A and B are shown apart, each in its own frame.
Chain A
Amino acid sequence: MRSTIYNIGYFLKEAKTIFKVDLLSNIFSILSIGLIFFILALVISGWGISNYVIGIIEKEAEINVYFREDMRDPDIIELIKEIESIEGIGKAVFVSQEEAYNRMVEILGSEAAILELFDENPFSPFIEVQIHIEEVDSILEELEKIEEVEHIRDNKRVIDRLQNIVFILKIIGLLAVVAVGISTLVVISHIIRQGIYNNREQINTLELLGAPEFFIGFPFFLEGLFLTIMGGLIASLLLVITIRYGYSQMGIALTFIPLPSKDILTNNMVIFIMASSGVLGAVGSLFGLMSSR
């Protein structure tokens, strides 16, 4: 242990020397790693933002429950209570015939005049039900069992599409993480192997002098770690700039879309990039060392 502490200065100096031996190639490696992490960070940020937005949309997912027209108010209140007791349902609100009409007027806007062609209000009263989107199937099953329920407008196609988008984004995010992880491991282990090749005479001498594998390999491990952490820092810097610019643009163009907090997103992503760069740097360096044996 004492010897390891004594040698820390040596290990750092050696790592610096190894880095300088192939300076230009190492600088390009840092830039490549930085760009790889930046792309990963963009995909994950996009994934995070989409998940956040979809989460909010999911929370606001609604279905409309139409009931028998002969039902009186006390029966409707009972029906609402029954609906609210179903698992996965947040809130159920009665929408009268007049309110349904007014909502349509609002939706149609300047074309609302078309509604004047009807002699009487063509809309039926209904119960507006907020649901947890992931439980839509079981909720519909339960609602269909209620005798008073005549018809359900479930917007299932829209909900299914939303779920598909979430699924695709998750797959893309996962693939991006795997692809970037593998690319980083390959790049780092290749750099380490190159460093070992460039220093093969020194390594050979140390082996002949009986130096332990740890003593020989640790400077290369440090070099790999340094390269990925530098790459991570570059990626973090680019990401901070991109998020700032992106938010300022989206704030103007898409004011109605609820975005997650910029500071929380930035902090989380920087922590993620730096942690990933450290872990991938360590694993890639170990791969490089093991494959050079």
Chain B
Amino acid sequence: MIEAKGVFLTYGDGTEALKDVNLKIEAGEIVYVTGPSGSGKTSLLKLIMGIEYPTEGYLKVMGQNMVREEASNIRRLRRRMGPVFQEFKLIRGRTALENVVLGMRFLGFPPKMIREEAKTALERVGLGHKAYSLVEKLSWGESQRVAIARAIARKPALILADEPTGNLDLKNALNILEILTSLRDERTSVIITTHATHLIEDVEEGKFVRVDNGIIQVERRGVLAI
């Protein structure tokens, strides 16, 4: 699903965000990306989403070469992803349901199915009763779950969650992690970044990618039961 060989990412101001990244993620894997703030976790997700492009090396995501020249194909590639952004990126002035529906409108789902799937996704994250609430009226945790519902409803092949537990208390953070890990199946991979390593200390299965100062180390725990 994702293959990186000798990938470097250097920003315009000369900051080296990632150095010599070599990584392979298979379909159906769950990957936890950890590391302190500013270590390069978000930069790694940006590369996978095609928000940034490798300054050196080779990166292929779901068969797509991640190079600037392929920008129009990368937009199409994003339709197969379910991103959960650190700052949610929900659209204000719209209800939770409208936000979820909006993320699905251009994906080619049968029109009759879109609303039903969106409601199901909200129920799955425990927000069925807030479907018609404006997103600006929701709490931090609820907004986070709407963003997850938007990602799930798209039925993506790859879910990318950037610091989904940030600013949440322990109970809500664990709840969010549980929802996200439950999304993994034989065709859906999940990548979660977090700086709160204590939250995943007890996780027994998955690939653990430690990012520090742009350099990554990969560790695998348990055997994934797909």
Contact = CB atoms under 8 A, between A and B. Distances in A.
Contacts of B80: 210
B66 to A, nearest CB: 14
The 6 closest A-B pairs by CB, nearest first: A210-B78, A210-B79, A6-B111, A205-B89, A215-B106, A211-B106
A10 to B, nearest CB: 6
Interface of A: 2-3, 6-7, 10, 17, 201-202, 204-212, 215
A210 B75 contact: yes
Contacts, number: 49
A215 to B, nearest CB: 5
Contacts of B51: 208
A250 to B, nearest CB: 53
B127 to A, nearest CB: 19
Interface string B195-215: 000000000000000000000
Contacts of B89: 201, 204-205, 208
A45 B84 CA distance: 59
B27 interface: no
Given A209-B83, A211-B105, 19 more contacts: A2-B110, A2-B111, A3-B105, A3-B106, A3-B108, A7-B106, A201-B91, A205-B89, A205-B90, A205-B91, A206-B102, A208-B49, A208-B51, A208-B85, A209-B78, A209-B103, A210-B77, A210-B81, A212-B106
A202 B91 contact: yes
Nearest to B107: A210
A10 B91 CA distance: 14
A7 B101 CA distance: 11
B36 to A, nearest CB: 25
Contacts of A208: 49, 51, 78, 83, 85, 89
A6 B105 CA distance: 8
B75 A212 contact: yes
Contacts of A210: 75-81, 106
B93 interface: yes
Contacts of B105: 3, 6-7, 10, 211, 215
Contacts of A212: 75, 106
B78 A17 contact: no
7 contacts: A3-B106, A7-B105, A205-B90, A209-B154, A210-B77, A211-B75, A215-B106
